[in-house]
Chains A and B, each alone.
Chain A
Amino acid sequence: EVQLVESGGGLVQPGGSLRLSCAASGFTFRSYEMNWVRQAPGKGLEWVSYISTNSGSTIYYADSVKGRFTISRDNAKNSLYLQMNSLRAEDTAVYYCARASPITMIGDHWGQGTLVTVSS
């Protein structure tokens, strides 16, 4: 069974940092592209970042997080990460990791999400 489990969320002050993790199991992690998607309270879905398979040599970010967030993966640990720096109130959201279905780039499996709250 495919499982994605996020962790690392919490309360952080504006300007602070957090590192989110997503532990993957039930599939060959290194063979799948991965995304982070977030959802602010009561709002819609917003794509955050993408990383390609294997070495993760191709990476994309939403403009809203470019220069502040860094996506990475450790295939030996079956894990995806999102390092978030210079956090702002508008980064408050539930953050989901999502496996991208090959070719279609549609999220075919999602984690349960982890809540990040940026507030003083």
Chain B
Amino acid sequence: DIQMTQSPSSVSASVGDRVTITCQASQGISRWLGWYQQKPGKAPKVLIYAASSLQSGVPSRFSGSGSGTDFTLTISSLQPEDFATYYCQQAKSFPLTFGGGTKVEIK
């Protein structure tokens, strides 16, 4: 199974800050990676697919990069509605696996 290690587990940031979340796969997954945002009591929402492609309707302040084993989700200027938990997910092979999550909190 491919393990996904996400860091940090939590981050405190202010509105307008640049936030970076990393995800490392235990083996190469090319660009088979997605990023999700989840708010309390809600279903996850996809932000990024294929490592760097922005899902339709997602603000351009979100961006993804990386390939192989190392990936990054960047929020260029944090907005109030961005305080949430973020998950990466590999889609290279079954079982599909998620990172442990990164909670973005208000500083």
Q: B50: nearest residue on chain A (CB-CB)?
A: A104
Interface size class of B (residues with CB under 8 A): 20 to 34
User: Given the complex of chains A and B, what is the CA–CA distance between A107 and B49 in angstroms?
Assistant: 9
Instruction: Determine whether the beta carbon of A96 is less than 8 Å from that of B98.
Output: no
Total A-B residue pairs with C-beta atoms closer than 8 Å?
Answer: 59
Q: B6: nearest residue on chain A (CB-CB)?
A: A44
Contact with B along A80-120 (1 / 0, CB 8 A): 00000000000000001000010011111011110000000
Instruction: Determine whether the beta carbon of A45 is less than 8 Å from that of B94.
Output: no
Which B residues lie at the A interface, using CB under 8 A?
32, 34, 36, 38, 42-46, 49-50, 55, 87, 89, 91, 94-101
19 pairs from A and B in contact (CB 8 Å cutoff): A37-B44, A44-B87, A44-B98, A44-B99, A45-B89, A45-B101, A47-B95, A47-B98, A50-B94, A50-B96, A104-B34, A104-B50, A104-B91, A106-B50, A106-B89, A107-B34, A107-B89, A108-B49, A112-B43
